[in-house]
Amino acid sequence: MRQRQTIVQEVEKRAVTLAQGLAAAATNDLLTYNFVGLEQKMAEVVRSEDVLYAIALDREGAVASHSLHKDLEGTRPRDDVSLRAVAAEEILVQRVHIPGGSDAYDIAVPVLAGRNQEKWGTIRVGVSLENMQKELVRTAWQIFGFGIVAMLLGSAGSVWVARRFTTPIQRLLQGVGAVGRGDFSHTIEVHGGDEIGRLGAAFNEMTRQLARIRDLEDRLRRSDRLASLGTMAAGIAHDIRNPLTSISIFTQLMSQNFQDPEIRSKFDRVVPRELERVQRVLEDMLELARPASLNREPTDVNEILPQVMDLFERQLHEQAIVATTNLAFPMPKTMADRKKLHRCFANVVLNAIQAMPKGGRLTVSSGLFVAPRSALRLTDGGEEEAREMIRVTVTDTGAGIPPEVLAHIFDPFFTTKEKGTGLGMAIAHRIIEDHQGAIEVSSRVGEGTTFTLTLPVQTGAEVSGLLPSAPSPRPPLQQPTAPTLPPTAPSPSPPVLSR
């Protein structure tokens, strides 16, 4: 736009200069009516490039000389362009169209003479705009060409800059994906010391640190497995050795005092009882080790919880524990193995009772809540984003759980009691997980402990038998990271339970 304006101004300035020069040269000839000299000067101007015509008008506006049409000399033109030129008191530039030709500038310059600068005539010069238009077209093409070149160069530069930045970023994204898949040996190439290069170097350092951390974690897991194996071996040795010792002693006594009725009577009482203890330990171990086999059926937890409380009625009375049940009605059913669920609730309630050897308050509650599906481990293949869950809480006012003990409550063979296998809470955790539920514990030392068990409400697919009756097998003796019970004084427990 600026180039076009410059070209137009230059052409207009040149045309005005030609007209002014002709007017200055022809003033005397016009005043003295020297038409021959006037024609010569006009002919000289017309020979200039782009000049189409030159016209001299006298004082009355008649044509004194015309470079193209001699027949118009002595006449008064009546066209608008000529009339405006005659009436002009100063330089007038008009754009006109020449028939059969191109556009032109008609430059009218008044001829002034005398002290009063009286107007004695008008000099008109016509300058063609054809070259100007060609120059404008050529300039436009040049600008267009420069624009195309600039665009191509800009595109090439943009591609180079984009690759300069996106290629390292793509490498970084690939590295992040590899690390996300567990490949901590993956590194990315670092070029330069700019922000992207420093980011790549930081990423490589991060992968090296993660590799070292994973190696340390692997070593720690191996140590934990060995420690768990040692704990399990110690637990088995402790819980089986005592019954076997009793059996061994009474066997020796029987061989030496077979005729003694009292010895035979003690043998009949002690040996079966100790064998039953060994059998219970082995059954608890198998409960954790072998794949679960669940006999699922619609089950109402509000029916099981009172049965569990009735089981410990005598023990609650002996320990002066006030038990309260807050059950929500109506309660939807859950697809569960009734016997295993009964055992799970019984183990949790027993732990709460054992945490209050000197009395306290035990509260068992049930209710409903809606859990987001992302927080569940369900296998029904449904599309819902949330699912209604059953919540059972068991709260005691015992001594609470110390932080150092809290992380091991669900570990197999972990116990703070003098008696017990340490399998009760591990079995409870296993049973709840087999039912696609969750068990959590919160505790404050000196105030008490609360166990929260959640189970999914049965769905139409479960009622119709579309779900498998048992979950897929899981590794034996799983050790989840969760809190545990505080050390409490041992207390008698029903034969079917263990802790």
Give, as one character, the DSSP assignment of residue 298: E
pLDDT in tens, 5-55: 777 777 788 888 888 888 888 788 777 778 788 888 888 888 887 888 888
Q: Comparing C-alpha atoms, which of 363, 414, 368 is closest to residue 393?
A: 363
In whole angstroms, what is the distance from residue 124 CA to residue 81 CA? 10
Both tokens assigned to 414: 């972990």
Per-residue pLDDT tens for 228-242? 666 666 666 666 766
Separation between Cα atoms, residue 423 and residue 418, nearest integer Å:
14
pLDDT bucket at 143, cuts 50 / 70 / 90: confident
Quote the mean pLDDT of the chain. 78
Close Cβ partners of 246 (under 8 Å, ≥ 6 residues apart): 270, 271, 274
pTM to 2 decimal places:
0.47
- Reduced to 3 states (helix: H, G, I; strand: E, B; else coil), residue 387 is strand
| Confidence at 386, pLDDT banded by 50, 70, 90 | confident
List CB contacts of 356: < 8 A, sequence separation 6 or more.
319, 321, 362, 396, 397, 398, 488
pLDDT at 146 over 60: yes
Strands, DSSP E only, in 27-130? 51-57, 63-66, 92-97, 103-113, 118-128
Which domains are seen in the chain, by residue range? 2-128 (3.30.450.20), 220-287 (1.10.287.130), 297-463 (3.30.565.10)
Q: Which residue has the higher pLDDT, 395 or 465?
A: 395
Q: Residue for token digits 């410990």? A: 312
- What pLDDT sits at residue 233? 65
Q: Where are the alpha helices (DSSP H) in 47-194?
A: 80-87, 130-180
pLDDT tens column, 303-343: 999 999 999 999 999 999 999 999 998 899 999 999 999 99
* Amino acid identity for residue 89 in this structure: E
